[in-house]
Chain A
């Protein structure tokens, strides 16, 4: 039985040799910020966020796409990671720990939160699981919003600012760096830092997917009862999926916190969970390449809209009828509905669904 391929399946006519494909993708990922820089720093920022969303999408895909557990509270783990960084590396409590302590701690806390969510919900599946996880996310957000009194822990809706930036090997990524006489802006430095994390995540998840664990997840996703019957420890496997998925969320959250320098409950609303879910749905659930493409597309498209839609409306109607935020929401909701109706497997469908006989020879 073949495993899901992570290579891009391009439409016929544009078929590229597999040997060309991989270096091409790597090259694209490496030069992207330099190209973007020529259009302005804000586009590099968009790429930075795209990398964070890729990270989130990889984590959520692990839970939803691989193990089939629909988690609508995923952003809570992102929040755990972000707030861990904000607590342990900011003037808020006056603690300034280095990233190699804070980031693993954030990831660990997120993983613990993942298990805390997974453990009581082991028996639930499908829409029940979705709604409980959604509730979990909301509970976390309510606490973030209100834990400013009587003891001020999260600083409430105002959020926490002046968070320490990412400092790697003595290099402060929030400062522009002069490399061999070339001025490298901070956003570009962050991009490469995030890219490294994304690549590590991709390799890790890929190894997991084609291992016994990944196959066990797929078995649970396709038929839980059968999976149990052939001796898979479904409880342990589900918990592992929740914990691993949450870990990626936690890491992304920590990086987000450092990059932004500011966190508030606003950034962790249900909408964000749904945005990440839409990325997976659009790209192709269960397929890593699809997930990456979906995440990059849905981060970049609203920005492009922001850039072009407003001037276009001004030219056509003399006023802005739809502001960028509305357009973004519209795009997301339509992406979800239309994809489900027209192409439920996503733009780049996972090659093999283990249990589907018709695809067995694909």
Chain B
């Protein structure tokens, strides 16, 4: 029972981060029908920029309150990522909007690679320690279950951001324009919506969320390096597909489900396979799940779109 509760908690923490990243994938896919492979790498950019700010500030003004450092990190990481996201769309994808499907996809892979290379140049190839700015002192609300304030913080922030995004998309003018553009670019244009602007805004918002997810991710694993974005990016994509790509609540549900499956999988795989496989196989769950969803229910848990759009 303790293991069960503990794994649920761990699953919720990683799941809520996946969900945040998945929202970015799903928004872009909903509007452009494009998998932005570079989205996961924006998470990395966010984490490393935040780390840079925090360490600079820490050495300039020693003894600052950790909360201030964290805020400073976020305040620099989010705009930088937004700018990068905008540039990617403007330079890379906009010109390819009417090209055959393969072209933007390969460009996206190239951009992902490029971001990693640039990060490698700027921050080197080593693993950086990301400071623990929210306390990680374990608490034991229930016997045998360990919770840290950082974990609670992660879940709360992630859910607050998701709620904020839902409000934005469902209630604001921009949100309405986004939904209209997702429905049909040209008709939205006829209705006086600046489709290019809306697409750029989508990229910017998604990139901002990725930056925040990056800071949360790096805080939780206490690590940042140039290739850290790739695997969470893939998992977030899996989450988006799982929930039904193009569907915002789906992405959140998908993220949480994936986080839980992974955490239970890692926790119980040794028992299930009689010790043949162990928790180092954790990453295969996402890929197997992705394959299974695409094959058996390509529209995802909550989605209605078909997978057959090449």
B contacts with A: majority SS: helix
Interchain Cβ contacts within 8 Å, total number = 127
A326 located at the interface, meaning its Cβ lies under 8 Å from any Cβ of chain B in the complex: yes
- Min Cβ gap A355→B in Å is 11
Interface centre among B113, B121, B298 (most CB of A within 10 A): B113
Please report the C-alpha to C-alpha distance between residue A332 and residue B112 in the assembled complex, in whole angstroms.
11
A336 to B102, CA, bound (A): 12
The reply to whether the CB of A35 lies closer than 8 angstroms to some CB of chain B is no
Closest B-chain residue to A322, C-beta based? B121
Do the beta carbons of A121 and B295 come within 8 Å of each other?
A: yes
- Whether the Cβ atoms of B113 and A333 lie closer than 8 Å is yes
Interface residues of A in 96-124 (CB under 8 A from B): 120-121, 123-124
- B237: which A residues are within 8 A, CB to CB? 131
B106 in contact with A333 (CB, 8 Å): no
Closest B residue to A338 using CB positions: B110
Complex interface: chain A residues within 8 A of B105 (CB): 70, 126-127, 130
Minimum CB–CB distance from A128 to chain B (whole Å) comes to: 5
**B281-310 interface code vs A (CB 8 A; 1 in, 0 out):** 101101110110011001000000001111
Is residue A203 contacting chain B, with contact meaning CB distance below 8 A?
A: no
A336 vs B241: C-alpha distance in the bound complex, in angstroms?
26
In the complex, residue of chain A having the shortest beta-carbon distance to the beta carbon of B92 = A337
Neighbouring A residues of B291 by C-beta, 8 Å = 120-121, 132, 135-136
Interface residues on B, range: 35 or more
Interchain CB contact (< 8 A) of B110 among A127, A134, A142, A334? A334
Cross-interface CB contact of B283 among A142, A326, A336, A344, cutoff 8 Å: A142
CB distance from B229 to the nearest CB of A (A): 13
Is residue A139 contacting chain B, with contact meaning CB distance below 8 A?
A: yes
Say whether B95 contacts A274, CB under 8 Å: no
| Residues on the A chain within 8 Å of B177, using CB | none
What A residues does B309 contact at CB under 8 A? 125-126
- Nearest opposing residue in chain B for A344, CB measure: B103
Is residue B120 contacting chain A, with contact meaning CB distance below 8 A? Answer: yes
Does A340 lie within 8 Å of B107, measured CB to CB? yes
Task: Evaluate contact between A340 and B295: CB separation under 8 angstroms.
Answer: no
Query: 4 other contacts beyond A131-B35, A277-B106, A281-B106, with CB at 8 A cut-off?
Result: A125-B308, A135-B286, A334-B114, A340-B96
